Amino acid sequence: MPSRDRIVNRYVRQYNEKKQARARRKLVMLPIKLVFGIACVGILAYFVVQIFLAFNTPMTTATALSTVVNDEFSIVGYFVREETVLEADYNGILVYTADEGDKVARFGEYAAVYENSKAADLKTTVTRLDENIQFLKSALDSSMDTSGVMSLSSYIYDGLCDTAELADAEAFTLISEYASELKSNIVTRELTNTSMEEIQSMITSLEAQRDYLNERIGDSETALKTSASGFFTSHVDGYESVFDVDTLGELTPSAFRSLLKRNVRTTDRQVGRLVTSFKWYFVSVMRTDAASVLTKNKYVNLRFDAMGDELVRARVESISQAENGEVTVVFSSNQHMKELVNLRKQSASVVMATYEGLKVPKDAVRVDNEGNLGVYVITGMYSEFKKIDVLYETEDYYIVDTDPTTTKSLLVYDFIIVNGKGLSNGKVIK
């Protein structure tokens, strides 16, 4: 009997152990089943959403607009020119009479020295009177009807916009020229209802004031003049005697950097410099892979930060031997830009090519059954496939060619279908 009890107890114990083991397995599998269930629900929800979007996504469009894109890369370089430092021994107050970048003739005046601040202030007033006299003479020469006044108002508006754009682009060297023309137009516009006799009377009055002030200045003014002709700038940095235009083509990157590290000095006697040649050079050390697109004696366009969007045509004068993955590139140009005369170090962009066409989002581009690249546009109530010729590619869009003489070409202001399901040529757009 005891033996039978032991057997029963053993089976009971084994049954309980198996029951507990099953309970433990269920406990372990519960999180796995939970995660698997959530994953299944997520996958099912994804397909449901995709099916919904396939039948319910609204069509989106983009307007084909004209744009201009440059194929360019950035560099930093230094201007090198044939330069003469202007020196003067003077006692008093120095006032420049030539503007930055102005052409000064041989023995021409570039500055004046005044014995005291009062005389210098009088000269400043004389300069302002001369400017106002020129504005009035310009207004006197302008005889406009109503349409002319409207055109002048438009010029003033454009001038304000241009000046603001130059300020935003930090092209401060260009602002003075635009500002002077803007002032002249404003004065002319304000005097459109003023008789010629009144304007002439204003001119006569200002000329009398100017002549009186010049008499008061008298002998307290001493003119400083150049010994040669050239383009004037008041900036002297000491590098005028460091760079030699005749040896630029021999400069390796290390040799050029060695020149830049020289201890240059300027003195109070050095009151300006004169650029004596039209030809100037722009020297830059750049990576060999960037310079690989350049060819000696070929031309490129340079866009300097100081010039805003204006391009300067330049010749690739020389490319040095590679040194530690770098080369020295020398650009040259005969295009005189008065805004650049006073600059030495400058950031610039080398513009290899300029592409003008229509901007097309990459998401809108499709391939038809014949393998042609194109886009669908909305024509009336239908979708129409138009082939495109890609001129240039960016990360997000293409610049494509356009032919305004045929409607088969993608045209400016066409509505390009960016997102749309089941598109085909001639499909009714709902």
Domain boundary among the residues 338, 355, 372 is at 355
Task: Return the sign of the alpha-carbon dihedral for residues 307, 311, 315, 317.
Answer: positive
Sheet of 93-96, strands arranged across: 93-96, 109-114, 221-225
CATH number for the domain spanning 289: value is 2.40.30.170
141: three-class secondary structure by DSSP: helix
Mean pLDDT along residues 227-232: 93
pLDDT of residue 173 exceeding 70: no
Mean pLDDT value across residues 369-381: 90
**Co-location of 131 and 27 in the same domain:** no
Q: Residue 206: its pLDDT value, please?
A: 87
Residue 235 in domain: no
**One domain, residues 145 and 269:** no
Spatial separation of the C-alpha atoms in residues 221 and 124, rounded to whole Å: 12
**Amino acid identity of 203?**
I
pLDDT at residue 78 in the model: 97
Whether 214 and 101 map to the same domain: the answer is yes
Percentage with pLDDT > 70 across the chain: 76
Q: Report angle CA 121, 209, 99 to the nearest 5 degrees.
A: 50
Q: Are residues 76 and 103 in the same domain?
A: no
Here the CATH number for the domain that contains residue 385 is 2.40.420.20
Q: How far apart are CA 320 and CA 252, in angstroms?
A: 6
Same domain, 408 and 350: no
The pLDDT tens digits for 274-284 are 999 999 999 99
Q: At which of 178, 197, 225 does a domain end?
A: 225
Query: Which spans in 57-145 are helix H?
Result: 117-141
Closest C-alpha to 81, from 351, 314, 346, 342: 342
Is position 8 within any domain? Answer: no
Residue 175 lies in a domain: yes
- In the predicted model, what is the mean pLDDT of residues 381-393? 91
Same-domain status, 340 and 376: no
The whole domain housing 214 covers 88-225
Residues 363 and 342 in one domain: no
Any idea which residue has 């005189």 for tokens? 336
Residue 193 DSSP symbol: T
In a shared domain, residues 392 and 291:
no
Do 200 and 285 lie in one domain? The reply is no
Among 201, 225, 249, the domain boundary falls at 225
Provide the 10 A C-beta neighbour count for residue 161.
Answer: 10
- Tell me if 191 is assigned to some domain: yes
For residues 389 and 343, is the Cβ–Cβ distance under 8 A? no
Higher per-residue confidence, 200 vs 110: 110
Residue of higher predicted confidence among 145 and 57: 57
- What values do phi and psi take at 152, rounded to 5? -65, -40
How high does pLDDT run on average in the chain?
A: 84
Query: CB burial class (10 A; 0-12, 13-18, 19+) of residue 46?
Result: exposed
Output the CA–CA distances (angstroms, integers) from residue 89 to 96, 99, 194, 222, 280, in the order listed. Answer: 15, 21, 49, 12, 29
Asked whether the predicted pLDDT for residue 145 surpasses 50, the reply is no
Do 351 and 364 fall into the same domain? no
How many separate domains does the chain show? 4
pLDDT bin (cut points 50, 70, 90) of residue 262 is very high
Residue 370 sits in the same domain as residue 269:
no
Select from 267, 264, 325 the least CA-distant residue to 78. 264
- Asked whether residue 263 is domain-assigned, the answer is yes
Determine the Cα–Cα distance for residues 46 and 430; give it in Å rounded to an integer. 27
Question: How high is the pLDDT of residue 290?
Answer: 94
Same domain, 167 and 180: yes
pLDDT over 90 for what percent of the chain?
A: 46
Q: Distance between CA 401 and CA 333 in Å, rounded?
A: 32
pLDDT value of position 348: 95
Residue 230 has pLDDT above 70, yes or no: yes
